Amino acid sequence: MRGTQILILFGLLTLVLITSGCVSNTDRSAGITTKEKLTVNLPKKPLNKSALLIIAPQNFRDEEYSVTMDVLKRSGVRVTVASLKKGVAKGMLGLKVMVNNTIYDVNVSKFDAIIFIGGSGSTVFYNNQRALEIAREAYESGKVVAAICLAPGILARAGILKGKRATIWSGARDVLENAGAIYTGRDVEVDGNIVTANGPKAAEKFAITVVKLLANPPSR
């Protein structure tokens, strides 16, 4: 009887992971962007802007990183990648990224946008004081602050989503609401200089929205 109960619990857990696009490692095609597939026009002239992509050292969401990186670079944005430590960071689907900067070394003032990539590993930043400081400093300086999948929870924990419209992977909406955010459930949400998105299938739209804000910053 006990063995049957364990099998049932394991099956339920597997079902939850498979159906949750943000933390599942089964959907390998969601959000993948190529030059041929990108359907929205990017800026015709390269942007003279810079962005910091922050990823977890383990279990960041591959598509959210690769699609965002692709769109930013093709828009002429200079991109720096940072994590908790230097070395190889590994995505949920196996993507490996060499990280040469830690979040403790970066200077927020040098960037026009701060972008937190999601995936199950991004929750490691929820209680990381440096990550929260980066989010707050960027927001207060009027920079574009963006987060996707579970990563909007970082912005919530930083206290910059109170009274703001925002979205997140649906299974974590309480993280936003508990911080006073207005959860909209949209794929991508913009409120002022803050961009949030709910998972890998929204990665292309998320990245393009960030580029549009970099090209035309909202008035403060």
Which stretch of DSSP H or E encloses residue 157?
Answer: helix 152-157
Average model confidence (pLDDT) across the chain = 87
Q: Does residue 163 fall inside a structural domain? A: yes
Q: Which two tokens stand for residue 193?
A: 């200089």
Tell me the CATH number at 139. 3.40.50.880
185: which DSSP letter?
-
- Grouping H, G, I as helix, E, B as strand and the rest as coil, residue 22 is coil
User: What is the number of domains present in the chain?
Assistant: 1
Distance between CA atoms of 36 and 201, rounded to whole angstroms? 17
pLDDT for 176-219, tens place per residue? Answer: 999 999 999 999 999 999 999 999 999 999 999 999 999 988 77
Q: Does residue 89 fall inside a structural domain? A: yes
Q: Does residue 51 fall inside a structural domain? A: yes
C-alpha pair distances (Å), 143 with each of 154, 201, 213: 16, 25, 10
C-alpha pair distances (Å), 174 with each of 46, 85, 127, 203, 212: 39, 29, 16, 22, 29
Q: Which of 33-37, 78-82, 121-125, 151-155 has the lowest mean pLDDT?
A: 33-37
**Is pLDDT larger for residue 23 or for residue 212?**
212
Q: Does residue 6 fall inside a structural domain? A: no
Burial 81-101 (b: 16+ CB within 10 A, else e): bbbbeeeebbbbbeeebebee
Give the pLDDT confidence score for residue 84 in this predicted structure: 98
Give the pLDDT confidence score for residue 170 in this predicted structure: 93
The dihedral region occupied by 164, where left means phi > 0, alpha psi between -120 and 50, and beta the remainder, is beta
Give the rounded percent of residues in the chain with a pLDDT score beyond 90.
76
pLDDT for 117-171, tens place per residue? Answer: 999 999 999 999 999 999 999 999 999 999 999 999 999 999 999 999 999 999 9
158: CB partners within 8 A, 6+ apart: 131, 132, 133, 135, 136, 139
Only one residue has tokens 């041929």, namely: 36
Q: Does residue 13 fall inside a structural domain? A: no
Q: Does residue 18 fall inside a structural domain? A: no
Confidence bin at 9 (pLDDT 50/70/90): very low
Confidence bin at 38 (pLDDT 50/70/90): low
Q: Does residue 210 fall inside a structural domain? A: yes
- Reference 161, options 177, 144, 184, 143; nearest CA is 177
Q: Does residue 198 fall inside a structural domain? A: yes
Only one residue has tokens 């689907």, namely: 93
Q: Which residue range is the domain that position 170 belongs to?
A: 43-215
- Grouping H, G, I as helix, E, B as strand and the rest as coil, residue 214 is helix
